[in-house]
Structure 1
Amino acid sequence: MARKKRPIEVKQGAPEWMNTYGDMVTLLLCFFVLLFSMSKIDAAKFQAFISSFDGGVGILDGGPSIANEQQLGGGVSQMPNIDKYFQETMEGTYSQYREELKEIAEELEEHIQQNGISQKVEIDYNEIYVRLNFLDGVFFDTGKAVLKPEAIEILNAMTEPLQKYSEYQIKIEGHTDNRPIRTAQYPSNWYLSSARAIAVAEYYIHEKGFDPRRISADGFGEYAPIASNDTPEGQAKNRRVEIKIINESLDLQKLDDFLNRKRGEQDGEK
């Protein structure tokens, strides 16, 4: 007796690869939304970018039900346009943040000059933050983390401008030179530098009413020097407290990755 052949089952619906393709498109859409939320978009460039997708593929109204190989290949060919658009968008974001921080640095420089503390505070800025560097001996005695009267005067002088930029985060950093400290209170330079940063943060929070959610305090010990520790002058520069003003809406990781890539490209051109 002949065996019956089981009929071949034909799966209904779109091919299985369409699920993966749909997920990829959804992720790209989410990425675009995130990118738009942190950037100012050049309307002309954006329109040109969108126009490059005319005749795009899809299973909804406005496109064919299933993409063929030629259409998928066309999507791949648009990848250089996407990369170019991302590059231009990040460069625009980078320039915008730098200009904002430049304006803040100039205002702080003027404030420091007017208050006669320019010999005690150094100021600079980059693409990520404005930095106030309070020089050695101004804030603390050797091996101590108690604010000196002179330090309190300087902190008072800087209160108004720091409160003015309420949308910015304030990061306070303590640094030491490489001479070891081993006391019951401060077993290492990490403890000492952290205690000094916390002392400044607590003064602004408890005495000046700063929002504690805006302030963070970190100690770096001797591990972030700005000068050589081989000379007394270099050690003096490394013993410092820094206040950094950072835009809290800035995605530091994305910007840092972008800047590292830019620096790599520039180094490759040399």
Structure 2
Amino acid sequence: MSKKGRHEPHEEHPDESWLLPYSDLMTLLLALFITLFAMSSLDASKFQQMAAAMNAAFTGGTGVLDQNAMEETSGQTPKSDDNETPASAASPADNTQKSRESLREKLKQQEQENLEKLKKQLDSYIKNNGLSQQLATKLNQSQLSITISDNTLFASGRATVKPESRILAKSISNILQQFPNYDIIVSGHTDNIPISNSQYESNWNLSSDRALNFMKILLLNNKLDPRKFSAIGYGQYRPVASNSTNLGRAENRRVEVSIIRKYVDEDVNPTLQSMANNGK
């Protein structure tokens, strides 16, 4: 009678089937982290290579290593155009700035054309009415100015506008209403001879009153916006000619009506630049 073999006791193997989904989960997480890392990089070529490698790993396609090997075998390298500018080279902010500068240049050019047209209109009015000795116009980088001699508007040492000069003021106001969005400065100027009467104690006072009174007559035109107007008295301190002669002093006694440009260069008077910017 044969004796049955005796089996040694042994431990049972634990169930390891959970390792399969766990490994799949870890693989997917790794792929996610790789994708996030690739997307955070600013190098588009590296992102494409990473995408190709992942495609090879999950779908059996050609990976980046195989692609490099094929390139080495063929002896061909991708061509690059050094003169080609990437689409991403110009940021949206740069494009916006260029667009603004382009628009500003167009508006500046249009403004120049408008002011030149207005100057011709004023010069024609002055010539046709025989006012060449009393009025003059000047267009520069900051403004278009209409200069009116003081004896055309006022009696000596006075700031009341002559009745016959109101027609001139009305004509100027009709011209100004064509440019309703521009700031207008009315400034008064005198020569350096001290004022000596009971009404005014200095040329400051006289020039200020003359500018203010002439501005008030301009604003009788209800089509003009008073918010765009200001009156300034400069007294004797902004002469345009020498005060050593009678002719020079006569040129310095004047009222100026200035149409301030909106689009001025940075090197123009900062006060006028600020006024133009605030008026936009």
Q: TM-score range by the shorter chain?
A: 0.5 to 0.7
Q: Secondary structure at the match of 1:168?
A: coil
Match for residue 149 of structure 1? 163
Shift of 1:89: 7.7
Q: Is the 8 A contact 1:175 1:221 kept in 2?
A: yes
Aligned position for 1:106 = 120
Q: 1:220 to 1:88 in 2, by over 3 A?
A: same
2:221 is aligned with 1:208:
yes
Structure 2, unpaired ranges of 5+: 1-83, 270-280
Q: Tell me, yes or no, if the aligned pair for 2:137 and 2:146 is still in contact at 8 Å.
A: yes
Normalising by structure 1, what TM-score? 0.58
Q: Tell me the distance in 1 between the aligned counterparts of 2:148 and 2:129.
A: 15
- Note the alpha carbon deviations across 1:49-89, whole angstroms, 9 max, x for none: xx96843599xxx9xxxxxxxxxxxxxxx9xxxx9999988
Q: Which residue of 1 aligns with 2:139?
A: 125
The structural deviation recorded for 1:161 is: 1.2
Q: 1:188 to 1:105 in 2, by over 3 A?
A: same
Change (3 A) 1:55 1:160: closer
The change in CA–CA distance for 1:208 and 1:86 in structure 2 (over 3 A counts) is closer
Identity of aligned residues (%): 35
- Equivalent residue, structure 2, for 1:55: 88
Which AA in structure 2 matches 1:188? S
Any gaps of 5 or more consecutive residues in structure 1?
Answer: 1-50, 63-77, 261-270
2:114 corresponds to which letter in structure 1? E
Q: What are the superposed Cα offsets for residues 106-137 of structure 1, whole Å, 9 maximum, x if unpaired?
A: 12222333344333211121122211111231
- For 1:145 and 1:136, the matched residues in 2 are separated by 9
The number of equivalent residue pairs is 185
CA distance 1:240–1:56, shift in 2 (3 Å): same
Q: Tell me how far apart the structure 2 counterparts of residues 233 and 182 of structure 1 sit (CA, whole Å).
A: 21
* AA of the residue aligned to 1:187: E
Aligned with 1:158 (options 166, 172, 180): 172
**Kindly tell me: are residues 192 and 107 of structure 1, through their superposed partners in 2, closer, same or farther at Cα, counting changes over 3 Å?**
same
Larger Rg computed on CA atoms: 2
Which residue is 1:167 aligned to?
181
Q: Given the two structures, how large is their TM-score scaled by the length of structure 2?
A: 0.56
Match of 1:178 in 2: 192
